[in-house]
Amino acid sequence: MTDPTMLAITEAVQAQDRERLLALWSTTGPGGDPLHRCTLAHYLADLCEHPAEALTWDVRALDAADTLTDERAQAHHAGLRVSGFYPSLHLNLADNYHKLGALDAARRHLAEARARLDVLPDDAYGATIRGAVERLTRDVGFSDAAAGSQAVRRD
């Protein structure tokens, strides 16, 4: 890995060092490299105890993904495609909204995640995301008819 920021993010994530991740966020900032912002925000959300705080970071991760290009992602790892980020990003948002009792918002993001599942690889990661989407689908009482019309493709 030749990107020192991504290396620092990886090390902080492995150590579950929230303070280090926050320090990296402060140096990256809201206008920084979208791959750095997306990755940092995604992992910072995972370290939040309250779903409202996690939601803030997950929105930041989605916003960064919306400005990320495949070219930039592949400069980090040849196999990355930005479209592959969206199922997980929307799943995380749906989960946060569900925990906060905002079921309509949860269903909208769940619809977004479901609409993008076909881009996931047939590997352990893809199976994990698909399984989590199915569990949340049951938990929120998702209906394709109700939520499908609310889904708007961003990519």
User: How many domains would you assign to the chain?
Assistant: 2
Residue at 141: amino acid letter: G
**Whether 20 and 87 share a structural domain:** no
**Whether 126 and 142 share a structural domain:** yes
**Whether 70 and 93 share a structural domain:** no
Whole-number pLDDT of residue 143: 73
**Whether 109 and 65 share a structural domain:** no
**Whether 5 and 19 share a structural domain:** yes
Tens of pLDDT along 10-61? Answer: 999 999 999 999 999 999 988 999 999 999 999 999 999 999 999 999 999 9
Q: Domain ends where: 78, 101, 132?
A: 78
**Whether 103 and 150 share a structural domain:** yes
Whole-number pLDDT of residue 153: 41
**Whether 107 and 152 share a structural domain:** yes
**Whether 57 and 94 share a structural domain:** no
Whole-number pLDDT of residue 144: 65
Contact 42, 34 (CB under 8 A): no
Domain that holds residue 45: 1-78
Contact 113, 94 (CB under 8 A): yes
Contact 151, 111 (CB under 8 A): yes
Contact 24, 8 (CB under 8 A): yes
Tens of pLDDT along 54-103? Answer: 999 999 999 999 999 999 999 999 999 999 999 999 999 999 999 999 99
**Whether 65 and 99 share a structural domain:** no
Look at 118 and 144; give whichever has higher pLDDT: 118
Q: Is the pLDDT of residue 151 over 60?
A: no
**Whether 42 and 88 share a structural domain:** no
Contact 82, 68 (CB under 8 A): yes
Report the alpha-carbon distance of residue 41 to residue 49 in Å, rounded: 14
Buried b (16+ CB within 10 A) or exposed e, 124-135: eeeeebbebbee
Whole-number pLDDT of residue 1: 57
Residue where the block lists tokens 């992602």: 73
